Amino acid sequence: MKIMGLPIARRKMMANSLVAIQFGMLLALAILAINSIKNSNHPYLPFEIVLIASGGIVILSAAKTLNLSLRISPIPRPNSAFVISGIYRRVRHPMYLGVILIGFGLAGFSDSLFAWILELILVVNLNIKANFEDALLDELHPQSWHYREHTSKIIPCLSRSCRTDCRLPN
């Protein structure tokens, strides 16, 4: 995704749109899940609870690692550190992974085609948001290309991304 030359106002508009879609999909999934509570037949409830809890744990772990660099917007803070420690050693966008896991748990609990369509929209949106954020990080941190080559985007350990001997060039 080429970002160079994109005006700041356009970047902010895109970032805000991606965040709004993300939270809109999560809210809709939560509402569908709450509405399905009255359905006493939830055969996969333990699995759905594990998905939601795992998503929460991943998000908390990423938030703790990011510390002062944390923000909802995919636009990084101008003077933020380039974080590659903690959970970020295995996945570049663990927050998005956590949101996807929570979404899968909510969609499973809702058990409706509409919920699964919302989850698909959420996954596509987060993939676009991750690509947008990667392009912005490239501008801010020139060494991010190397990290991107050796670390999975959202799902840990895909392809060659599980190398633990990868070091960023100085």
Q: Does residue 30 lie within any of the structural domains?
A: yes
Q: Collapse the DSSP code of 17 into the 3-class scheme (helix H, G, I; strand E, B; otherwise coil) and give the result.
A: helix
Q: Is the pLDDT of residue 170 over 50?
A: no
Q: Does residue 131 lie within any of the structural domains?
A: yes
Count of the separate structural domains present in the chain? 1
Instruction: Report how far apart, in Å, the C-alpha atoms of 70 and of each of 39, 73, 124 are.
Output: 38, 9, 22
How far is 144 from 77, CA to CA, in rounded Å?
15
Q: Residue 134 belongs to a domain with what CATH number?
A: 1.20.120.1630
Q: Is the pLDDT of residue 163 over 80?
A: no
Q: Does residue 25 lie within any of the structural domains?
A: yes
Domain span at 95: 8-37+54-71+80-162
Q: Collapse the DSSP code of 152 into the 3-class scheme (helix H, G, I; strand E, B; otherwise coil) and give the result.
A: strand
User: 133: closest CA among 78, 63, 89, 73?
Assistant: 73
β-bridge partners, 91: 152
Instruction: Report how far apart, in Å, the C-alpha atoms of 152 and of each of 5, 127, 141, 165 are.
Output: 27, 12, 18, 15
Q: What is the CA radius of gyration of the chain?
A: 17
pLDDT tens profile 46-57 = 999 999 999 999
Q: Collapse the DSSP code of 33 into the 3-class scheme (helix H, G, I; strand E, B; otherwise coil) and give the result.
A: helix
Backbone angles phi, psi at 152, to 5 degrees: -65, 150
When mean pLDDT is compared across 16-25, 80-89, 91-100, 150-159, the lowest value belongs to 150-159
Q: Does residue 45 lie within any of the structural domains?
A: no
Q: Does residue 156 lie within any of the structural domains?
A: yes
Q: Is the pLDDT of residue 125 over 50?
A: yes
Q: Does residue 167 lie within any of the structural domains?
A: no
Q: What average pLDDT does the chain have? A: 89
Q: Does residue 122 lie within any of the structural domains?
A: yes
Q: Does residue 128 lie within any of the structural domains?
A: yes
Q: Is the pLDDT of residue 167 over 70?
A: no
Overall average pLDDT of the 79-105 stretch: 93
Q: Collapse the DSSP code of 91 into the 3-class scheme (helix H, G, I; strand E, B; otherwise coil) and give the result.
A: strand
Q: Is the pLDDT of residue 149 over 90?
A: no
Q: What pLDDT is recorded for position 166?
A: 56
